[in-house]
Amino acid sequence: MKHIFFKPLSIIATIVMVISCTSVTDSDGGFITMPQEDLKDKIMGAWALQTIGVTYGGPTEFRYNKRIIPDSVDIIWNDTLMYHWMTRSPGLYDDIYMDLTFVEVFEKEGLDAPASSHGKAYANAEYWLWHANQQGRYNILNGIEPPESGHWLNNPHADDIDFQIEADFAGIMAPGMPNAASAICDPIGHIMNSGNGYYGGVYMAALYSNAYVLDDIRQVVEKSLAVIPAQSSYYKCMRDVIDWCKQYPMDWKKTWELVEEKWGEDIGCPDGVNADFNIDATINSAYVIMGLLYGNGDLDKTMEISTRCGQDSDCNPASAAGILGAMIGYRAIPEKWAKGLELIEDLDFKYTNISLNDAYGLSFRHALEVITRNGGEVSEDEVKIKVQEPVAVPFEENFPGYKILERRKIDKTFVSTEETEVKIDFEGVGVVLTGKSHNKKFSEVWFLSDDEQTMNNFKLETEFYIDGELATKNVQPLKYIERNLELFYKYELPPGKHELVMKIINPHPDVTLRIGDLITYTK
């Protein structure tokens, strides 16, 4: 059932309206009183503009790596694009249906739902996952529970963008309360990330939270950074971006160059090592706040800059636009962008039973509860929010002091019944072996029919030894949504030369195992 609360007005008119009906008794740990309709409007703006942003940047996602999307490349928009993507390529909205997984757990179990419930919900979902999310899923399905499932020793993708793109819900349900948002992030973000990857989500949630109660986007960006430990490289990168934006206020491309030069190397994600591809949360968060700072409240400019920065060019404008939405609200979304919303607001996001209209209502109810739990009050028509001064979350560091030593191409395929053991010599304190198992009968296992999937329940069992000692036993599922992203990884080894031995325990005539590259690290 459709329940659109408002129709779009101009941005300036709505900002003036929100400021005029919001009273602040104390800017430092004091209270802000807000009509419930305004809170609801901001929640709707956050979800709606996140959806608009991911649609806007979708066609260029990871097509421009280590390079700006040129001005000569048009970014197309019309009022049917969201409907097209929602009905024909719904996987684009992984940013949102991942958020909604956790929102739904809160709705079913309450706001005290444990990390295990959130982890179980996403690990057993039917949607495809990648990077830290997929490794977190694999870990949970194979007995490694949160927070260990997101720790860098168990997840080579721990610094990736994953929690950053799905932490929106935590900020949306904690208006003006960034520390409450951080508390929501803690158990959920550590399901799949740690360190800088976790900080990406914490910072995004704080940006949403502060955007409810501040009317200057630059102040939102600056103040929210206080939730991140100052000694972290994530904080230092965001601080650089803020400073460079001040130094080059009319030249976002100059700031982009400086970010790329200083922060453009990805050492964790095996796909990004010595490659143009970079899904690291740090640099992609930089692109989000570049859009916010150089956009300076202008929605078109905010999304365009976050998109043209490249790399994860759908997730970054989604975050930037959603944060701006929490500030300006649904009614202030310009008609150019809002016109297509009515076509899709009652459509359930793929893999969920939740539509945008449902998300508006769920987050509104959750926000009211978070407000009361954190010293605020909810009356019939108003909310009284106890505004929080941001406090830094605990310091975490992934891959401390690590440097890439070598990426060696092996590119060898094993027919498991013919060859069941391989030995590889390497040197360093860490090692990753990329590759995957494969069903010889089918070229693309994720497009199989139900009957064909029977074979893909098979899991190739492997053992890995380092210097003669068993390091781990792994399974390599053929089923795509259960897959292991890397064949093997091990960190914190003694410096020096090592021998890695892989053994296939249960060979199958229809299954091959391909080794891609060997990545090694030094300190």
pLDDT tens digits, one per residue of 165-189 = 999 999 999 999 999 999 999 999 9
> What confidence tier does 22 reach under pLDDT thresholds 50, 70, 90?
very low
Percent of the chain residues topping a pLDDT of 90: 87
Residue 198 contacts residue 163 (beta carbons within 8 Å)? yes
Q: How far is CA 439 from the centre of its chain?
A: 30
Position 508 pLDDT exceeds 80: yes
Q: Is residue 337 domain-resident?
A: yes
Residue-range definition of the domain harbouring residue 506: 403-522
Treating both helix axes as pointing N-terminal to C-terminal, what angle do 299-308 and 281-295 enclose, rounded to 10 degrees? 150
Q: How far, in Å, CA of 316 to CA of 308, rounded?
A: 10
Domain edge (last residue) among 386, 414, 439: 386
Q: How far, in Å, CA of 491 to CA of 486, rounded?
A: 14
Position 28 pLDDT exceeds 90: no
What is the CB-side half-sphere exposure of residue 114 using CA atoms within 13 A?
Answer: 6
Q: What is the pLDDT of residue 13?
A: 31
Residues 340-377: tens digit of each pLDDT: 999 999 999 999 999 999 999 999 999 999 999 999 99
Position 310 pLDDT exceeds 70: yes
Q: What is the pLDDT of residue 453?
A: 57
Q: Is residue 392 domain-resident?
A: no
Residues contacting 143, CB < 8 A, separation 6+: none
Position 429 pLDDT exceeds 50: yes
What average pLDDT does range 129-134 have in this prediction?
Answer: 97
Residues 436-482: tens digit of each pLDDT: 998 876 654 445 555 555 566 889 999 999 999 999 999 999 888 99
**Domain identity same for 379 and 511:** no
**Domain identity same for 380 and 480:** no
Average pLDDT, the chain: 92
The 3-state secondary structure of 305-346, one letter per residue: HHHHCCCCCCHHHHHHHHHHHHHHCHHHCCHHHHCCHHHHCC
Q: Is residue 517 domain-resident?
A: yes
**Domain identity same for 184 and 311:** yes
Residues 223-262: tens digit of each pLDDT: 999 999 999 999 999 999 999 999 999 999 999 999 999 9
**Domain identity same for 280 and 328:** yes
Q: How far, in Å, CA of 174 to CA of 178, rounded?
A: 7
Q: What is the pLDDT of residue 418?
A: 74
> What confidence tier does 415 reach under pLDDT thresholds 50, 70, 90?
confident
Position 16 pLDDT exceeds 70: no
**Domain identity same for 376 and 427:** no
Helices (H), 76-212: 81-88, 94-109, 115-123, 131-141, 162-166, 168-172, 178-192, 195-211
Q: Is residue 5 domain-resident?
A: no
**Domain identity same for 327 and 411:** no
Q: Is residue 2 domain-resident?
A: no
**Domain identity same for 133 and 166:** yes
**Domain identity same for 327 and 218:** yes
Percent of the chain residues topping a pLDDT of 70: 91
Q: Is residue 464 domain-resident?
A: yes
**Domain identity same for 114 and 205:** yes
**Domain identity same for 294 and 148:** yes
Measured at the alpha carbon of residue 186, what is the angle toward residues 183 and 191, in degrees to the nearest 5?
Answer: 150
Q: How far, in Å, CA of 299 to CA of 285, rounded?
A: 18
What CATH code is carried by the domain that includes residue 416?
2.60.120.260
Q: How far is CA 225 from the centre of its chain?
A: 17
What average pLDDT does range 104-114 have in this prediction?
Answer: 98
Residues 268-300: tens digit of each pLDDT: 999 999 999 999 999 999 999 999 999 999 999
**Domain identity same for 320 and 199:** yes
Measured at the alpha carbon of residue 195, what is the angle toward residues 95 and 123, in degrees to the nearest 5?
Answer: 45
Evaluate if pTM is beyond 0.95: no
How many Å is the Cα radius of gyration of the chain? 23
**Domain identity same for 188 and 114:** yes
Per-residue tokens: 216:
């200057």
What CATH code is carried by the domain that includes residue 195?
1.10.4080.10
Position 7 pLDDT exceeds 70: no
Q: Is residue 395 domain-resident?
A: no
How many C-beta neighbours within 10 Å does residue 241 have? Answer: 26
What average pLDDT does range 31-60 have in this prediction?
Answer: 98
Q: What is the pLDDT of residue 452?
A: 55
Q: What is the pLDDT of residue 446?
A: 47
